[in-house]
Chain A
């Protein structure tokens, strides 16, 4: 799949599991919107299944997960699997608190991009565009 910068992107931003920290996801949603990207927010307490279903139903280009509780190693790969189980290949981007020693395993599990704390808006938008264009580094 290729999507040029000018074409409008649709992104689903999601909170999976019990992590209620929603400051980051809301700020990122607005920043993406400011960059001309269409954003849908799932709200809190989603499961990998509900996120995958919403992503497919809404026909989004990218799924963005906001994870701050440390459950990313358990839940993020399940989101990728749930999307693939629906026959879709929507790239997944994670933002939040992810230690470096987890990066490799997450990439191996099919996560396209991982954004750490403090990433400026431009970097977030770039990562989403790369993921959508399928040009993320593996």
Chain B
């Protein structure tokens, strides 16, 4: 039996190392990780110190900036620019109507078409979005939840038409519906029916798209909605356990499914607590996957995550100060061992970011990556009495919340998550925490620079922010009208009819019917409405 350090060394020696000088500015050579022989090590169970033995010595985190633009043609141009400048991953932001499964000509879409992302109504838009891009040679991430199955089907249909086989398609679908009911509120169908669609996408991708990551489990929105760090940690991992149980119910072995999961966390302003949160997340996930779900593959137990700095921590007052907040939050993500990172722009408490402020946000990451040397050593805060104690406490608080969810579900985390949503338990806890934080601010217990103190400078003129016109909305409506005019109406009706029939039988996987409906130019709204006819719609009864 080798000791933990020897195990780590073996894994480290097997890793490829990027070209860099791993030393301090005064020339002190740096070890890849520091710690006692028998302590925890990165890449070794329970992965508290990182999922990989070599961490950033092999590869720096991915500097992923999420953005969306008006029409599919505009976004396609942006995609091509990214690919030309050496990127190999595309990240698609959809507009609000698409996220809610509505067409651009729906009355509810008024004022929102193409505003916060690209508008997709039919396969014609999907074709424009990926025109002249080799879908087999890149990875595509799609941030979409309620209509995730529909957009995945359209993507598959587009690839099919472009001659790219499904096995070659690589990418990620957010597809995390549970947090929509808990926090982000982009829901359409009731929870159980939505989970059936998640199951269908998971089973479909497992069988046909081996390079596809089917769910990105997101705590970011839970935190932005007002939860504490411990609640973000616990609710997110609980949702993860729920998806693992869902996949098991669908007959997928845990080691076939869990390696396809990734996570998405917030990086808030309470620096050390955030770092402890990431460390606790990795340890908890490894333990639960191994002990409760019987995973044996390392990949199943290694929690990998994306981080975004906290939008809610930004202030409209003296927005330049947000660069500092974002830098500190980004540093927490990096010291916590994130695999990819999005840094918010300074003007996002005012509007969508300008190109200039988005560039500064990227530069912030580049300073951390290339000037500070913080990426040289894995888990640099591991072994700190303080951070280790906080990590243990975060873990303990999360375990208490898991026990409650497990109890609500009668021994099932899947049931517990759904019951907790039905009973407004998650939503209530998040609202309570948000209210408590606001009261602390109003009592003067929480200082926000430029808002509650240090106000000199607030009277200066507000910085210039991005202005958006409604021109794209008109363009997209016309586009949809012309697609509808040119399509074979009876083929659309047949396809929707079959979708409705398939939806009635919960044993049937809906993906084939959705792909076929996409191929005949059924709209996102038509497919969603057809399913809503069978599934019903979720109406939140809010509590205040």
A positions within 8 Å CB-CB of B: 17-23, 26-27, 29-31, 33, 39, 41, 43-45, 47, 69-71, 73-75, 97, 99-101, 116-118, 120-122
A29 touches B544 (CB 8 A): yes
A71 to B317, CA, bound (A): 21
B473: min CB distance to chain A, Å: 9
B-side contacts of A31, CB under 8 Å? 438, 442
A-side contacts of B316, CB under 8 Å? 97, 116-118
B540: min CB distance to chain A, Å: 6
B540 touches A43 (CB 8 A): yes
B507: min CB distance to chain A, Å: 32
B115 at interface, CB cutoff 8 A: yes
B-side contacts of A17, CB under 8 Å? 96, 108, 110-112
Stretch at the interface among B127-135, B296-304, B344-352, B380-388: B344-352
B465 at interface, CB cutoff 8 A: yes
Identify the closest chain B residue to A33 (Cβ). B544
B105 at interface, CB cutoff 8 A: no
A73 touches B542 (CB 8 A): no
B397 at interface, CB cutoff 8 A: no
* B residues 101-140 in Cβ contact with A at 8 Å: 102, 107-112, 115-116
* B residues 20-48 in Cβ contact with A at 8 Å: none
A70 to B224, CA, bound (A): 17
A18 touches B100 (CB 8 A): yes
How does the 8 Å CB contact mask read for B419-440 relative to A, with 1 for contact and 0 for none? 0000000000011001100100
A74 touches B108 (CB 8 A): no
A75 to B317, CA, bound (A): 25
- The answer to whether residues A71 and B111 also contact, given A23-B224, A120-B441 and a CB cut-off of 8 A, is yes
A99 touches B438 (CB 8 A): no
> Quick one: which of A22, A97, A100 contacts B225, CB cutoff 8 A?
A22
A104: min CB distance to chain B, Å: 13
How does the 8 Å CB contact mask read for B75-110 relative to A, with 1 for contact and 0 for none? 000000000000000000000110110100001111
Q: Give the 9 A-B residue pairs with the shortest CB-CB distance, closest first.
A: A74-B111, A20-B185, A71-B111, A118-B451, A100-B462, A18-B96, A29-B544, A117-B316, A121-B442
A121 to B442, CA, bound (A): 6
A-side contacts of B540, CB under 8 Å? 43-44
A22 touches B542 (CB 8 A): yes
A19 to B316, CA, bound (A): 19
> Could you tell me how many residues of chain B have their Cβ less than 8 Å away from some Cβ of chain A?
48
B315 at interface, CB cutoff 8 A: yes
B-side contacts of A29, CB under 8 Å? 544
A101 to B96, CA, bound (A): 23
Identify the closest chain B residue to A32 (Cβ). B544
A41 touches B544 (CB 8 A): yes
- The answer to whether residues A44 and B185 also contact, given A27-B435, A39-B544, A120-B452 and a CB cut-off of 8 A, is yes
A4 to B513, CA, bound (A): 61
B185 touches A41 (CB 8 A): no
> Quick one: which of A18, A30, A74, A75 contacts B470, CB cutoff 8 A?
A74
B96 touches A30 (CB 8 A): no
A80 to B461, CA, bound (A): 28
A20 to B100, CA, bound (A): 10
> Quick one: which of A69, A97, A122 contacts B112, CB cutoff 8 A?
A69
How does the 8 Å CB contact mask read for B164-186 relative to A, with 1 for contact and 0 for none? 00000000000000000000111
B467 at interface, CB cutoff 8 A: yes
Can you give 27 contacting A-B residue pairs, CB < 8 Å?
A: A17-B111, A18-B96, A18-B102, A19-B96, A20-B184, A20-B185, A22-B185, A23-B431, A26-B431, A26-B434, A27-B226, A27-B438, A41-B542, A43-B541, A44-B542, A69-B115, A70-B116, A70-B468, A74-B111, A75-B110, A97-B351, A99-B350, A101-B465, A101-B467, A116-B316, A118-B315, A118-B316
